[in-house]
Amino acid sequence: MTQPTTQPPSGDAAVDLPTRYQPADVEGRLYERWVAEGRFTADPARDPGRPAYSIVIPPPNVTGSLHMGHALDHSIQDTLVRRRRMQGHEVAWIPGMDHAGIATQNVVERELAKEGLSRHDLGREAFVDRVWKWKAESGGRILGQMRRLGDSVDWSREAFTMDDDRARAVRTIFKRLFDDGLIYRAERIINWCPRCLTALSDIEVEHADRDGELVSIRYGDGDDSIVVATTRAETMLGDTAVAVHPGDERYRHLVGREIELPLTGRRIPVVADEHVDPAFGTGAVKVTPAHDPNDFEIGRRHDLPSRSVMDERGVITEPGPFQGLDRFEARPAVVAALREDGRIVKEIRPYEHSVGHCQRCRTVVEPRVSLQWFVKVAPLAQAAGDAVRDGRVAIHPPEMAARYFEWVDNMHDWCVSRQLWWGHRIPVWYGPDGETACPGPDEEPPAGWTQDTDVLDTWFSSALWPFSTLGWPADTPELKRFYPTSALVTGYDILFFWVARMMMFGLYAMDGAVPFRTIVLHGMVRDQHGKKMSKSFGNVVDPLDWIDRYGADATRFTLLRGANPGGDVPVAEEWAQGSRNFCNKLFNVARFALINGANVTGPVPAELTTVDRWVLSRLNTVIAEVDAHLDDYEFAKACETLYHFAWDEVCDWYVELAKVQLADHRAPATRRVLGEVLDKVLRLLHPVIPFVTEELWTTLTGADTLVTAAWPQADAARRDAAAEAEIESLQRLVTEVRRFRADQGLKPGQRVAAELDWAGSPLAAHEEGVRTLLRLTVPGDGFAATASLPVEGATVRLDTAGAIDVGAERRRLEKDLATARKEADQTRRKLGNEAFVAKAPEAVVAKNKDRLAQAEADIARLEHQLAALPAG
């Protein structure tokens, strides 16, 4: 741990600090120095007795750039790891990127399109080479942007989900799952993107309400007719049954019989199935097993044929008049044909309903029966749920656990194959006679056999992240020291995408050892009105823009100050400006302290003034509070506590009172206390705002770096209730007199003569400080008090004659008083009207009572101010 080693000469230290803080002059220089000196590098062999602390960054997409969500997520993680580093832990914060299969392939295909080429023109091997080239030249911008934010990650351990070590991990776990019967290939209905031409897992489909139409169609005729409703009329071409509930008396006579499917001439059966809700719609549903997941299950239960009527691009393939039409062209055409045939019973337009979209390209997803690879999740999901239920993994905030259980307890088998070329190719080979082999990572596939053409879902490889980044499947020192990782920090929006999958694979691969001990979930960053940031709304904020204008510290502080557990984080530019002002305030007070000889040399003296004892008492309370907040992941509360202590108590009160002490015999002790307070405050703030604190602390202490300085420990012996009570009394006195001065129209810096009658109050010892804070001069000859304020057991008599325009002030107060009296009279009459009180809503009556109380308080205040004015 780095400790202060030398003390700059009194009064000269501030020469090393410019008169104004410029983040751009500091941040890049400090970050590169930290990295060059290895301040963030983890060593599993270093001091085995030290506790270990590890976090893996949710790997951003190789196509991505830093956005506000990343900035929040990384600021939280950096706060955690910087604090643990200062607490003496061996910290491994591991960075890396995800290969982002669909997104990256789309990017490179768009680049090829500009050249008039497609991936098929290149062929698979050349296309993959092209993607690797793009990754080397253009991918991973976000890693450099993480440096701008100040991420204290161990860059020597940077990983990529497609690098050799991660590829070996993927092959290893696939082989193990395959041998254990937990991976299988089957024809199932899956989510299909007609744009990306690949299968999608449930979590890669985003649902949004869209306006469509609900069409009721009559199948069959006469007593053999039945009405069904659909939002996707084109799929009726692939119907192979109509289903009703077994207990629905309306259709009992039809069950087991066949009816004619309109437009096709085919006859399809009516089946009874418990899945049908007899109270919904007509109580009858069309069954299209090839184009709806619920219908697929009904089809399996009743051995119905699965009739696909679309190709992979969503084009109708069913022979007839609609063949060759896109699905969205076919929909109105089918409805028109049914209408012409007299089959339309009812049309509701617009009809709002939920529609699934591809997460990457926003294309409407099409359910489709396809031969795919699946992970059998039941035993894995059970283990993932049990790890949270039995307390091995804690979810923070705890109320988010219900959402986690809702997902893992109802998880469907995971479709892990993707019809892409960029990604981990499925390590399965097929023989000439249909044989299947899955060789391990150190085994060669059978000669002449053909490898599966699909790749694995991107989330498959990122699910291994907590242990593959530590060297698994090798038994590495890193794995022994840093697994399980200490915490996972991520947005609640990918609780299902990533967290549950890491839990399943971690427990499976690591023989029941959880991948992390705590899951810390934060919300989304929104604008100041709570609105989601969106380019279409025009409210997107680029964190790099804020870093350029206000600094990384201000950007981080703004985000963390709004980071309540699990809640969304609103941000506004004026808040970033306020955070920059806070950093400037710290810089200015540190510069003042250094100019006045603040130091960290030697122990704090035992004999101290009440003011010094008060600030040290408050400091130790704040240390304990910040520790408690950070232990509970209450980042907003920790920031608020530090902000108000540093600005309100240290800068606005202690420094002003210390100015008096620095001018007399108390100066040596006060310099040491001032140094002590700044030392501890900068340490406490360092995990949140690392750059300005490093610059100031190293100047104050002469030490090499704050990165590994010891985290402050609260000292109960420094708690001083009597000193706190005395200074709180002084603060109330000063605040009351300031309020009176403001009411009288006196400017804050305007000096006023005053007598202070302490009447034995202990605050008499602070008279010089009180006069300094209130700009009160010692009375001279001719002093005549025009106002007398009894406050905190003392009396403050002021001579405001000549300090204000008495006539103008009297006229202003009288005008305000007349307005307040008129308001009170009107409100009293209204409340005195029995009819109004009896008929008006309770909230309206209460509001009028509040208005009367406020008006009466204004009258009393204004009358008091008028009485306090000097005559004339």
Annotated binding-site positions for ATP? 535
> What angle separates helix 690-701 from helix 573-595, to the nearest 10 degrees?
0
Strands 429-430 and 414-415: unpaired
3-state SS string over 473-520?
CCCCHHHHHHCCEEEEEEEHHHHHHHHHHHHHHHHHHCCCCCCEEEEE
Q: Where are the extended beta strands (E) located within 10-167?
A: 52-56, 90-94, 96-97, 159-160
Q: Are 284 and 244 in contact (CB under 8 A)?
A: yes
Task: For residue 115, give the DSSP letter.
Answer: T
- From residue 537, alpha-carbon distances to 251, 533, 667 in Å are 50, 7, 57
The Cα 324–Cα 315 span in angstroms is: 6
What single letter denotes the amino acid at residue 871? A
The Cα 663–Cα 680 span in angstroms is: 24
Both tokens of residue 117?
């080429």
**Which secondary structure element, helix H or strand E, spans residue 27, and what is its range?**
helix 23-36
Both tokens of residue 283?
């109580």
Q: Where are the extended beta strands (E) located within 579-624?
A: none
The Cα 303–Cα 287 span in angstroms is: 12
Torsion of CA 686, 687, 692, 694, to 10 degrees: 60
Q: Are 184 and 376 in contact (CB under 8 A)?
A: yes
Numbered residues of the known binding site: 535
Both tokens of residue 816?
């305000």
What single letter denotes the amino acid at residue 272? A
The Cα 580–Cα 569 span in angstroms is: 18
Describe the chain by its helix, strand, coil percentages, rounded to 5. 45, 20, 35
The Cα 199–Cα 214 span in angstroms is: 27
Both tokens of residue 563?
């980071």
Q: The tokens 């709180």 sit on which residue?
A: 728
Burial class (CB in 10 A: 0-12, 13-18, 19+), 324: exposed
**Which secondary structure element, helix H or strand E, spans residue 217, and what is its range?**
strand 205-219
Give the burial string for 201-223 (b: 16+ CB within 10 Å, else e): bebbbeeeeeebbbbbbbbbeee
- From residue 734, alpha-carbon distances to 645, 647, 765, 867 in Å are 18, 17, 14, 21
Closest among 723, 589, 560, 713 to 648, alpha carbons compared: 589
The Cα 487–Cα 508 span in angstroms is: 19
Q: The tokens 């001579």 sit on which residue?
A: 799
Question: Is the link from the previous residue into 570 a cis peptide, with omega within 30 of 0?
Answer: no
Q: How far is CA 800 from the centre of its chain?
A: 53
